[in-house]
Amino acid sequence: MRNESVAPTDSRRRPDQRLMEKGHWDEANRVKNEIEDKQRLARRKLEAEADKAMQAGIPFPEYKARWFEKSQDELTGSLIHLIKDAEYWKHKQNGDWKDCPDIF
């Protein structure tokens, strides 16, 4: 998928998904494991940084999604995610995703 209006963090860009769609199951599983290992490593690094900050008495900011915020649906009471502000749409229109993390 090379549509620049789609953020690089969008699950439609997962390379393992593209491989599965093409029927390359073994390669898709290998790539899926690589992605998950990369994400686990990033999580461990973040947790280590938080522990270090806590031991030093320094507040460590809680993770906040770049484009979305959690909210409660008024009708159902379910947890939903809403776009925070117009910044997302500006980035989408311009295909400017330089602020997105490399998760795949």
* pTM, full prediction: 0.73
CA-closest candidate to residue 66, choices 1, 18, 5, 9? 9
Question: What confidence tier does 42 reach under pLDDT thresholds 50, 70, 90?
Answer: very high
If one counts every other C-beta atom within 10 angstroms of the C-beta of residue 15, the result is 15
Q: Tell whether the model's pLDDT for residue 1 goes beyond 60.
A: no
Contact of 81 with 71, CB cutoff 8 Å: yes
Residue 2 has a pLDDT of: 58
In the chain, DSSP finds a helix count (H) and a strand count (E) of: 3, 2
